[in-house]
Structure 1
Amino acid sequence: MTGLRERKRARTHAAISEAAIALFLERGFDQVSVAQVAEAAEVSKRTLFAYFPVKEDLVVHRFADHETESARVVRARPPGVAPLAALRDHFLDGLRDRDPITGLNDVPEILALTRMVRETPALRSRAIRFQEGAERALTEALQETAGVPALTARLAATHLVATHWLLTMDNSKALDGGQTAEERYPEAVADAEHAFALLSEGLAGHV
């Protein structure tokens, strides 16, 4: 019975999200009300808010699974692999696989969604909260699995999360400018390798 309830909740969650994203992409985030989303998803406003407490969550929840991704990578790294090396390899793998979280995915809906987050102040602000959550999770992972002192772990996590965001936004902007993911790929790899090399120099002996 519990499994059935969970599946029903997941279907409702997905239906509300899909209805919201479709409306936002068609009309613009600020031009669509929560009531319009509820009507399109065929749920009450009360139900909608039970799943998504604020309007911005209808969009940025798509990134929620990635909030602790860097921390998971650090915790799951093979023995003998430094956290920074594991994160570098993970990002390069994401570029190769066209993972949307790297910004290197030119599927039209993903491009439009990323552009909307980037250009809508309320969504951008909400996304920053996910970055802060990512920093906290990564800080804990560095302390617990690599014995990194608290302040060093916080500083390293801040730089790593900010670097990931910058690289992602650069790739997204390049695709918005007309490049295909295939055309952008070599430069995206070069940029990532350069960024992680700089981080490696600054964090040498620490992470």
Structure 2
Amino acid sequence: MDDDARPGLRERKKQRTHAAISDAAIALFLEHGFNQVSVAQVAEAAEVSKRTLFAYFPTKEDLVVHRLADHETESARVVRAREAGTTPLAALRGHFLAGLDARDPITGLNDHPVALRLTRMINDAPTLVARMDRFKRGAELALAEALHETANLPDLTARLTAVQIVSVQWELAQENAAHMASGESADDRHAGAVADAELGFALLDRGLGSLTRGPA
């Protein structure tokens, strides 16, 4: 086997191990509860050692939150990838509305049973709630950096702007998730979710528009 093939095989093996640990953890957490399952039980179910598990997931909370990892920098990526002439706020508004249409779980508008159970599990575990706060902070910092670099906003202005934008997105998602938890379907909630999003972004535009209409 040539040298180029070995790294590829190793990487695929690592990906399979990562997925196996994650799948085992989520299945156990959903069945028994996050606080009721130990890391040792997850390792046993995934057929790996605790040392191997921690090499992939430094904390127990990471076994859950990693499922959302790509979303932590999502708003920053949207801002960086926006088309010329499109303001950051307009790009983020369009992206959030598209997420509602697609029933993206990060918008809270998803009534799939597993998504509902995951949301409930996170809300019921204080350590996961705290970990999600760190996730939110990471999203704010990533977005601030993107605004600073692409919209010519001073560093502090970019950070204050990012905090407000992420907070609105977060609150909109929480509102949608509350409707899902009460038994409303995603389809029935969609129109209300869109109206709420339009309100949220209109309020942001009213307060931040002049700060996010610089050179695209």
Deviations along 1:36-57, one digit per CA (max 9) or x if unpaired, are 1111111111111110111000
Q: Distance in 1 between matches of 2:124 and 2:203?
A: 28
Give 1:204 shift.
2.2
RMSD: 0.7
Matched, 1:22 2:27: yes
Residue 111 of structure 2: aligned partner:
106
Q: Distance in 2 between matches of 1:77 and 1:125?
A: 31
Residue 77 of structure 2: aligned partner:
72
Matched, 1:118 2:106: no
Structure 1 counterpart SS, 2:211: coil
Q: How many residues align?
A: 207
1:154 aligned residue (143, 151, 159): 159
Matches within 5 A, 1:129-168: 129-168=134-173
Deviations along 1:91-143, one digit per CA (max 9) or x if unpaired, are 00000011111111111111111221122110011111111111111111001
Is the radius of gyration larger for structure 1 or structure 2? 2
Residue 211 of structure 2: aligned partner:
206
The letter of the residue matching 2:149 is E
Deviations along 1:57-113, one digit per CA (max 9) or x if unpaired, are 000011111111000000000000000010000000000011111111111111111
Residue 48 of structure 1: aligned partner:
53
The letter of the residue matching 1:77 is R
Q: Distance in 2 between matches of 1:164 and 1:115?
A: 19
Gaps of 5+ in 1: none
Displacement over 6 Å in runs of 4+ = none
The letter of the residue matching 1:149 is P
Structure 2 counterpart SS, 1:80: coil
TM-score by length of 1: 0.98
Q: Distance in 2 between matches of 1:120 and 1:193?
A: 31
Residue 8 of structure 1: aligned partner:
13
Gaps of 5+ in 2: 1-5
Give 1:149 shift.
1.3
Deviations along 1:13-45, one digit per CA (max 9) or x if unpaired, are 011011000111111100000001111111111
The letter of the residue matching 1:157 is A
Q: Distance in 2 between matches of 1:159 and 1:7?
A: 40
The letter of the residue matching 1:24 is F
